[in-house]
C-alpha cells in the first residue's frame, strides 16, 4: 500500500507543487482546501490521477480522515497581504483552529507533521539576516498582525503538541518564493517585479530601496521541504 500524505492548502501556490512532488515520489496524496484563496486550476492536471484525491474542506472545522496517514503537511492559510487583509478572521482561525485540527490528525494517526510558517514571524526585524534564534519585532495589532500572530501561534501549538503529545513535528519558515502558478497581483515584490518587467514598466520600490529579500524558486523550495 502506498504511503498517504495529507496536504492542507494543497490548491495553493506552494501546496499544489507539493502535491505534484509527492505524487511523483509515489505517495497517495489527499489534498484538502476550501478554495477561498487556492484554485482548482493549480491541480487540474492531477484530478484524474489515481494517486490524488481532492477534498474541499475548511480545516478550521474538524477534520475526519479514514485510514492511515504517514505525513500531515499544513499549508492552509491566506498568505499574501491582499488575502490576509481581506480575510483577517479566517487567517487567524486557520492559524489557530486549523493548526490544532491538523495536529490532531497527526496525533491520531501517528503521522509526522510539518507546519508551513513564514518569515513574517519576525515582523519588522531589527536584525539582518535573521537567525532562527531571533524572536522578531512584531506589532500584534498592526495591519500585518493577523498573519504574523496566526503563524506565531501555529508555531507555539506545534511545539506544544511535540512536547506534550510526542508528535513528530517540523516547522519551516518560508520567505519569498516565486515560480509557476504564483499570481501576478498578490501584493508581494517578486510577482509585482516580474509583471512590471513583462509589461516593460518601471519597477515600483517602496521605502528607501535598501530593503533586502530572501528569494527561492518554487522547485528548490519544495525539494528542500521534502
- Tens of pLDDT, residue by residue over 117-144, are 999 999 888 888 888 888 889 899 998 9
Q: Is residue 74 part of a domain?
A: yes
Q: What are phi and psi of 217, to 5 degrees?
A: -75, 145
Q: Is 187 part of any domain?
A: no
In a domain, 184, yes or no: no
Cell numbers standing for residue 60: 478550521
Residues with Cβ within 8 Å of 112's Cβ and at least 6 positions away in sequence, in order, are 70, 71, 72, 106, 168, 169, 170
Chain Cα centroid distance, residue 192: 20
The yes-or-no verdict on residue 62 having pLDDT over 90 is yes
Please list the alpha-helical segments (H only) found in the chain. 13-24, 81-86, 88-93, 99-109, 145-165, 189-198, 218-225
Cβ 12 vs Cβ 59: under 8 Å: no
User: Rounded mean pLDDT of the chain?
Assistant: 94
pLDDT band at 147 (very low <50, low <70, confident <90, very high): very high
Number of domains in the chain: 1
Task: Tell me: pLDDT of 106 over 80.
Answer: yes
Find the catalytic residue in 84, 122, 147, 161.
147
Residue 49 domain boundaries = 4-178+216-225
Q: Is residue 186 part of a domain?
A: no
User: What's the CATH code of the domain at 23?
Assistant: 3.40.50.720
Q: Report if residue 205 sits inside a domain.
A: no
Task: Decide if 185 is inside a domain.
Answer: no
The residue among 37, 40, 28, 111 whose CA lies nearest residue 73 is: 111
The verdict on whether 147 is a catalytic residue reads yes
pTM, whole model, 2 decimals?
0.92
pLDDT the model gives residue 184: 77
What number is the average pLDDT over the span 35-49? 97
Residue 188 lies in a domain: no
Residue 110 maps to a domain:
yes
pLDDT-based confidence at 187, cuts 50/70/90?
confident
Amino acid at each position: 500500500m502506498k504511503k498517504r500524505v495529507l496536504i492542507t492548502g494543497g490548491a495553493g501556490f506552494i501546496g499544489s507543487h507539493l502535491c505534484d512532488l509527492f505524487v511523483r515520489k509515489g505517495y497517495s496524496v489527499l489534498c484538502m482546501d476550501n478554495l477561498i484563496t487556492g484554485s482548482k486550476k493549480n491541480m487540474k492536471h492531477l484530478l484524474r490521477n489515481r494517486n490524488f484525491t481532492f477534498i474541499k474542506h475548511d480545516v478550521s472545522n474538524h477534520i475526519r480522515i479514514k485510514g492511515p496517514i504517514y505525513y500531515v503537511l499544513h499549508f492552509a492559510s491566506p498568505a499574501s497581504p491582499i488575502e490576509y487583509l481581506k480575510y483577517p478572521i479566517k487567517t487567524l482561525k486557520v492559524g489557530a483552529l486549523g493548526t490544532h485540527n491538523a495536529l490532531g490528525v497527526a496525533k491520531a494517526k501517528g503521522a509526522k507533521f510539518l507546519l508551513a510558517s513564514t518569515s513574517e514571524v519576525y515582523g519588522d526585524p531589527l536584525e539582518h539576516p535573521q537567525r532562527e534564534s531571533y524572536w522578531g519585532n512584531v506589532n500584534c495589532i498592526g495591519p500585518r498582525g493577523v498573519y504574523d500572530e496566526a503563524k506565531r501561534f501555529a508555531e507555539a501549538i506545534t511545539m506544544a503538541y511535540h512536547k506534550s503529545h510526542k508528535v513528530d513535528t517540523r516547522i519551516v519558515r518560508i520567505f519569498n518564493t516565486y515560480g509557476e502558478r504564483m499570481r501576478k497581483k498578490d501584493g508581494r515584490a517578486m510577482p509585482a517585479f516580474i509583471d512590471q518587467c513583462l509589461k516593460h514598466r518601471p519597477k515600483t520600490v517602496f521605502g528607501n530601496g535598501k530593503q533586502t529579500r530572501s528569494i527561492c524558486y518554487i522547485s528548490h523550495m519544495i525539494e528542500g521541504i521534502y
